[in-house]
Amino acid sequence: MGALAGLSLYLWEQHSRAKQLEYALEDARRTIQTQDNQLLSLTGKLQDLDEDMQRVRQFDSKLHVLMNIGIGSADPEDPEPKEQEGREENGDGAARFRDPVFLSRHRDLFARHVHSLVDELADNVQLEEVKQQTLVGFLRSNKESLFSIPSVWPVKGYLTSGFGLRRAPTAGASRMHKGLDISNRVGTAVQAPADGKVTFSGYDGAYGLCITIDHGNGITTRYAHLHKSAVKHGDEVLRGEVIGALGNTGRSTGPHLHYEVHVNGIPVNPMRYILN
């Protein structure tokens, strides 16, 4: 009888201990799940921050190309930095690190990935600080010339055609489109994107009513298919000053502004200069 009682007590103690271990295990699982969720959230925030840093670097690169400093080997027609081939965040790598199943099986690899992201962001921040210091120094010493760079949109509207080869809407064959087409209502104000001097204001064949502005340093801009012009040859204009109104004159399929930027007589992509 005593042996049976002792066995019952032993089994009860073992059952109680097993329950305690079960509760502890369940609590540990909840803790791990919470930590996994926190890690997933952290890597998502880090990758979002990395994307923000890429946009900052692209903007910085455009500024440097625009001001002809620190261009290096960048293509002047495409100042946006190219993504590195094989960069894990560009493909399925980023997605798999947000996968809870992958995280549960490869926590060590996941931790190394997070640390790598942090180190890379820290390096990028330091690099941007150096580049920004160079840029600030240039801006301080070239305040006047900056007003002569066409760095803002000349008109509000919708970008309907970009710079480069395209099938001409009135001819059918592919040909070089030397500027941007920005559509809006007839009469929408067209503004000078930079300080300069008007060198032409009048009708110019297929361009219709057209204005050309010389901004100095070999940079000129052209505004075609206007409804009316508010300036004449020889006028000095300032950035933001209204120079005319969007129209549909010349060889045009609808109301829009055809906007060109030329550097030393050669048409270049206006997006190379537009910052906003």
**Domain containing residue 220: CATH number:** 2.70.70.10
Q: Is the pLDDT of residue 243 over 70?
A: yes
Do 136 and 165 lie in one domain? The reply is no
Do 127 and 164 lie in one domain? The reply is no
- Asked if residue 249 belongs to a domain, the reply is yes
Place 72 in a pLDDT band, splitting at 50, 70 and 90.
very low
- Asked if residue 220 belongs to a domain, the reply is yes
Do 131 and 164 lie in one domain? The reply is no
pLDDT digits (tens, 9 = 90+) for 27-65: 777 777 777 677 777 777 777 777 777 777 777 766 666
Mean pLDDT, range 234-257, rounded to an integer: 95
- Asked if residue 132 belongs to a domain, the reply is yes
Q: Write down which residue in 115, 141, 167 finishes a domain.
A: 141
Beta carbons within 8 Å of 195's beta carbon, 6+ residues apart:
147, 148, 215, 236, 237, 238, 239
Do 179 and 54 lie in one domain? The reply is no
Mean pLDDT, range 132-136, rounded to an integer: 69
Do 8 and 130 lie in one domain? The reply is yes
Q: In the predicted model, what is the mean pLDDT of the chain?
A: 77
- Asked if residue 153 belongs to a domain, the reply is no
Highest-scoring range by mean pLDDT, 17-26, 170-179, 185-194: 185-194
Do 184 and 252 lie in one domain? The reply is yes
The residue that leads in pLDDT, 170 or 17, is 17
Beta carbons within 8 Å of 92's beta carbon, 6+ residues apart:
none
Domain that holds residue 268: 158-272
Six-digit token string for 116: 């790598």
Do 118 and 170 lie in one domain? The reply is no
Do 8 and 129 lie in one domain? The reply is yes
Number of domains in the chain: 2
Beta carbons within 8 Å of 182's beta carbon, 6+ residues apart:
153, 154, 155, 157, 158, 159, 160, 246, 256, 257, 259
Place 223 in a pLDDT band, splitting at 50, 70 and 90.
very high
Do 10 and 135 lie in one domain? The reply is yes
- Asked if residue 147 belongs to a domain, the reply is no
Do 136 and 168 lie in one domain? The reply is no
CA distance 175 to 169: 10
Q: Write down which residue in 92, 107, 141 finishes a domain.
A: 141
Do 122 and 186 lie in one domain? The reply is no
- Asked if residue 150 belongs to a domain, the reply is no
- Asked if residue 91 belongs to a domain, the reply is yes
Do 27 and 136 lie in one domain? The reply is yes
Least confident of 7-21, 61-75, 241-255: 61-75
- Asked if residue 151 belongs to a domain, the reply is no
